[in-house]
């Protein structure tokens, strides 16, 4: 099994549609349309291709050439510009194979270098134990908990604030 991260291209629209239509949304934000259309895929890919390496790092997660996930680190605005927010998703049939752990390791290295970040942050629903473990394996630490801070499908959740700092930090 060969796991790779690669930049998105317009030819990936069908793989992105398949990913977005089949990913487990239990712990994802509500921003992604429920039925992901070709127009959604083309618009998103076009956008990230323009800002990749400037405002963020956006990659398709592939296994043996097949798109099985998405991962990104997006630079935070204003005085927080040395911090990036990480987000990722993997198709359920590829859970528990180390794919997310490997993808997080790779994108963190890329984002620290390409975006000149000093830290990367993650905001994770506390019940998402698998994602928290992926982050911990990659050097992220729990920095705090926001109690009863999010709602999804009628449930109220605590949010874990996770962070990884690039050391040594010259600032």
Structural domains of the chain, with CATH: 3-122 (3.40.630.30)
**What is Dmax (Cα atoms) for the chain?**
46
Residue 170: the pLDDT is: 55
**Tens digits of pLDDT across the chain (171 residues):** 899 999 999 999 999 999 999 999 999 988 888 889 999 999 999 999 999 999 999 999 999 999 999 999 999 999 999 999 999 999 999 999 999 999 999 999 999 999 999 999 999 999 999 999 999 999 999 999 999 999 999 999 999 999 999 876 555
3-state secondary structure labels for all residues of 36-64: CCHHHHHHHHHHHHHHECCCEEEEEEEEC
State if pTM tops 0.85.
yes
pLDDT at residue 118, rounded to an integer: 95
Q: Give the pLDDT of residue 33.
A: 85
Query: Directed axis angle between helix 13-22 and helix 38-51, to 10°?
Result: 110
């Amino acid at each position: 099994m060969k796991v790779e991260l690669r930049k998105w291209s317009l030819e990936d629209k069908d793989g992105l549609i398949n990913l977005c239509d089949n990913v487990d949304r239990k712990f994802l934000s509500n921003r992604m349309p429920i039925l992901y259309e070709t127009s959604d895929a083309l618009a998103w890919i076009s956008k990230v291709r323009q800002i990749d390496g400037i405002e963020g790092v956006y990659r398709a997660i592939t296994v043996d050439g097949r798109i099985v996930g998405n991962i990104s680190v997006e630079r935070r605005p204003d005085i927080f510009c040395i911090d990036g927010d990480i987000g990722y998703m993997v198709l359920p049939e590829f859970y528990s194979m180390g794919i997310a752990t490997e993808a997080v390791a790779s994108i963190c290295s890329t984002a620290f270098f390409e975006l000149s970040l000093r830290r990367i942050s993650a905001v994770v629903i506390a019940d998402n134990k698998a994602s928290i473990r992926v982050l911990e394996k990659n050097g992220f630490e729990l920095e705090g908990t926001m109690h009863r801070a999010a709602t999804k499908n009628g449930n109220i959740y605590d949010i874990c604030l996770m962070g990884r700092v690039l050391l040594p930090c010259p600032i």
